[in-house]
Chains A and B, each alone.
Chain A
Amino acid sequence: MSLKIAEQATGSSHGPRRWWSSITFRLTLLYVLSAAGILTVCCVLVYWMLARNVDDLAGQFLEDEVHDIRAALRELPNNPQGMDAEISMEGMYPNYYARVMDGQGREFEATPHMGEVVEGFQFPHPVKVTEPPRQFVKTRARDGRWYLLTSAWGQVGHAGDTQMVLQVALDVSKEERLVQNFGRRLAGVVLLGLGLSAAAGVVVAGMGMRPLAKITAATQRIGPTQLHERIGSTHWPQELTALAEAFDGMLDRLEDSFARLSQFSADMAHELRTPINNLMGEAEVSLSKPRTTEEYQHVLASSLEECGRLSHLIDSMLFLARAENAETELKRSALDVRREIEVVREFYDVVAEEQGVEVACTGEGQLNADPLLFRQALANLLSNALQYTPRGGKVRISVAPPNGGWMDIDVTDTGAGIDPEHLPRIFDRFYRADRSRSQYPQGLGLGLAIVKSILALHGGTVAIKSAPGAGTTVVLKFPNNAS
C-alpha cells in the first residue's frame, strides 16, 4: 500500500516531461512566430511597392508615347511626314514597339519588328480618343520576354470622324527580372531573419528564464533541516520578488509548524510516558511478592485511573486531529446562548461553591452552532477559570450584543493571570503556562487547544487577554449567523 503511494508520488513528479510544455520552448516559438510574421509582412510590402513602382514607370512611358502618336495623327493631314518621323523615332528605342492601324485593322505605320513581336498578343480594348490610356496588360511572349501593352484610338486631323487604332508595347523583361530577383532575395532575407530570430529567441527566453532556474535551485536547497534558510535575501527580478516573499512566508509557517510538531510529538511522548510508567511500575512491584487483596485492589484501581488518563488523552488528540483536518461534522442548531451558558454554569455550580468563587452570567444571544461543542468550549474555559481563581474571586461569562457580524462571549476571571511570555503559545497543545501546577491530575494542557479548534470549526476565533495579578479574559468570537 505504502509502496504504491510512493510510486504514484514519484510518477507524478518525474513523469514524462513533454518538451512542448517547456516555457522556454513556448517563448521561443512565440518569438519566432511573431518575428516571422512581422518580417514577412514588411518584405511583402516592400516587394509590392517596388513592383508597383516599376509598373507605374513603364505605364507612364507608354502613356507618353500614346500621347505623342495621337499628336502626330492630329497633325497628319497637315504634315504627313511628321507621322513617319514620330514612328521611326520611336523605333530608335530598342525595346519599344508601336503601330497605327485604321478602323479595319490594316497596318498604317509601325516600328520595325512590331509585327513579329506582337504576334498573338491580346491587346486591351482601345480607349476612346479623349481618354488617356490607363489599361495595361502584361503578357509573356513565347520567347519568355515580358511585354506591357496598351491600345487607344487616335483622331486623324483636328476635325472629322476618321480615327485610327494605336497599339504600343514595351519590353519590360529587364524590370520584371529585377523585381523577381529582388523578391527572391527578400525571401532569402525572411528565411535568414527567421533563423536569426529563432536563435535570438532561444537565447532571450533562456536568459529570461534563468532567474526561475536560480529560484528553483534556491528552493531545492531547502529541506526539513534547513527550514531556517530564506531565499528573499537575494536580489530577484521584480516579477519573482513576490514569489520569493510568498515562499519565505510559507517557510515561516512551515518552520513554525515543524517546530510545533516536534514539540508536540515530544510532549505527546511525555504525556504517554508518565501513565505507562505508572502502569508498568505498579504492576511490576505488586507482582514481585504475594500481597493482600486490598493491595491488589489498590493497584488495579490505580491502573484504571492511569488508563482513564490515557483514554482521555487519545480522545482529545483524536478530536484535535479531526478538527484540524476538518473531518469533524458540525451538528449545528439554533442555540439560546444564555441557556447553554446556564447549563454549563449549573454543572460547575458545586465546584464553584466549594471553592468560594462566584460565577455570574450576563447578556443574551442567539447562535447557530454545534451545541455539544459549544458547551465543551465553555466548559473548558470555565473549568480553567475556576481552577486559577482563588477563594472569594469572581468569574463572569458575558455575551456581548452582536457587533459587525460577530458575537463575542467573554469568560473573565479575577485569578492570578498569566505572564505575557506565555500568551503567544497558550493555545498550543500541551502548553501549560504554569509548569509547577502541571501536576493537576487531570490537566493535559489540551483544554485551550480544543477551545481554539472548536472556534475554528465554527469559523470563529479565540483571543486571550491577561496580565499577572489582573485576571484573565478569554474572548470567544463566533460569526453571528443566527437568523
Chain B
Amino acid sequence: MRILVVEDEPKTAAYLRNGLSEGGYVVDCAVDGEEGLHLAQTSAYDLVILDVMLPRRDGWSVIAELRRTGKQTPVLFLTARDQVHDRVKGLELGADDYLVKPFAFSELLARMHSVLRRGSSRPVETLKLADLEIDFPRRKVTRAGKRVDLTAKEFDLLSLLARRAGEILSRTIIAEQVWDMNFDSNTNVVDVAVRRLRQKIDEPFAKKLVHTVRGVGYVLEDR
C-alpha cells in the first residue's frame, strides 16, 4: 500500500517514514503543501497523511483542492491544534480522520487501519492462533483443546486483541473499544484486566500469546 506523508517537521516526517515502512507500507514524503498536492494529484496513493500547518499551502487548502479536483484518496489529518472548530473544519473538508499531536504511533496505525478497512471487511466467525481458538458467535475460547472460561469483558478484550492480532493496541484504544471509555482514563485498569486475561489463557501454558510492548500497549501474537 502506498502512503503519502505531507509533513514539514523533519523529525516527524522521518519517524513516520521509518515506522510506516517497517509496517509494510510504501511511503513518499512531501515537505510542503504544494509538493504534497502535486504528488497526491499525480500519483495513486491509498492514504494521505496530512499536517495542517504547512509552508506554501496549508493542509486545509490541500484537501480542499484535492476534493475539488475529484480525488477521493482518504486523508488523515495530523495537527497540534485541536479546537473543536478545527476538527469540524477538517471533517467538513472531507478528511477521513483527525489525529492530534502528540499521538501514539500505535494510535496512528490503528486509525489508518480503520480508514483503509472502512467498508471492506467482513467479520470473521472463528479465529485460530497457535493453539488458541476463538468462536466469536458462541463466545467460546479453547486453548490446546481445553475450554477457557472468560467473563464477558475478558472475552471482549481477547476478541479485540485477536481480531487485530499482530497489531500493537494502546491502552487508550483498548479502554475505548472494550469498555466504551472514550477519554484518557489514566488508570492502570487496562493493565489489571490484561493481567487477569493472561492468568486464564497464557499462564497454564508454556507458549505465551499476549505480549506487553512497554510504553506502547499490548499485542496478541504467535512469536
Contacts and interface: CB of A to CB of B under 8 A. Distances in A.
B188 A351 contact: yes
Nearest to A316: B184
Contacts of B182: 372, 375
A343 B189 CA distance: 14
A379 B102 contact: no
A383 B102 CA distance: 25
B67 interface: no
Interface string A201-226: 00000000000000000000000000
A442 B181 contact: no
B187 interface: yes
Nearest to A443: B186
Contacts of B193: 350
Nearest to A354: B192
A88 interface: no
B196 A350 contact: yes
Determine the interface band of chain B, counting residues with CB < 8 A from chain A. 20 to 34
Interface string A379-416: 10001000000000000000000000000000000000
Residue of A327, A329, A354 with highest tally of chain B CB at under 10 A: A354
Interface stretch (A186-194, A299-307, A464-472): A299-307
Nearest to A373: B183
Nearest to A376: B183
Nearest to A379: B185
B175 interface: yes
A355 to B, nearest CB: 9
Contacts, number: 68
Given A304-B216, A351-B188, A379 B181 contact: yes
B15 interface: no
Contact of A346 (B83, B153, B186, B188): B153
A350 B180 contact: no
A311 interface: yes
A301 B83 CA distance: 30
B179 interface: yes
A442 B183 contact: no
A178 interface: no
Contacts of B192: 350-351, 354
A315 interface: yes
Given A300-B215, A351-B188, A351-B189, A307 B175 contact: no
Contacts of B187: 348, 351, 379, 383, 442
A327 B215 contact: no
Interface string A341-370: 001101111110010000000000000000
B118 interface: no
B84 A327 contact: yes
A307 B82 CA distance: 19
B91 to A, nearest CB: 14
Contacts of A308: 104, 215
A307 B215 CA distance: 9
Contacts of B84: 327-329
A297 B153 CA distance: 32
Nearest to B101: A311
Interface in A132-160: none
A185 interface: no
B49 to A, nearest CB: 19
A314 B153 CA distance: 31
B104 to A, nearest CB: 8
Q: Which of A310, A312, A329, A376 has the most CB of B within 10 A?
A: A376
B190 to A, nearest CB: 9
B107 to A, nearest CB: 11
B180 A343 contact: yes
B214 A301 contact: yes
A301 B215 contact: yes
A312 B186 contact: yes
A318 B80 CA distance: 12
Nearest to A355: B192
Contact of A314 (B102, B181, B215): B102
A348 B185 CA distance: 11
Nearest to B152: A346
A442 B189 CA distance: 12
Interface string A306-339: 0110111011101000000001110000000000
A351 B82 CA distance: 32
Contacts of A344: 181
Contacts of A327: 83-84
A53 B138 CA distance: 120
A108 B28 CA distance: 137
Given A347-B189, A350-B189, A305 B184 contact: no
A307 B105 CA distance: 12
Given A314-B102, A329-B84, A346-B179, A302 B184 contact: no
Contacts of B180: 343
Given A304-B216, A349-B153, A351-B189, A312 B184 contact: yes
A318 B185 CA distance: 15
Contacts of B153: 346, 349-350
6 contacts: A297-B214, A343-B179, A347-B175, A347-B181, A375-B182, A376-B183
Q: Which 10 A-B pairs have the closest CB atoms?
A: A304-B215, A301-B214, A301-B215, A347-B179, A350-B192, A311-B102, A350-B193, A376-B183, A305-B215, A442-B186
Given A349-B153, A351-B189, A442-B187, 19 more contacts: A303-B215, A304-B214, A307-B102, A310-B102, A314-B102, A343-B179, A343-B180, A343-B181, A346-B153, A347-B181, A347-B185, A351-B188, A351-B192, A354-B192, A372-B183, A375-B181, A375-B182, A375-B183, A442-B188
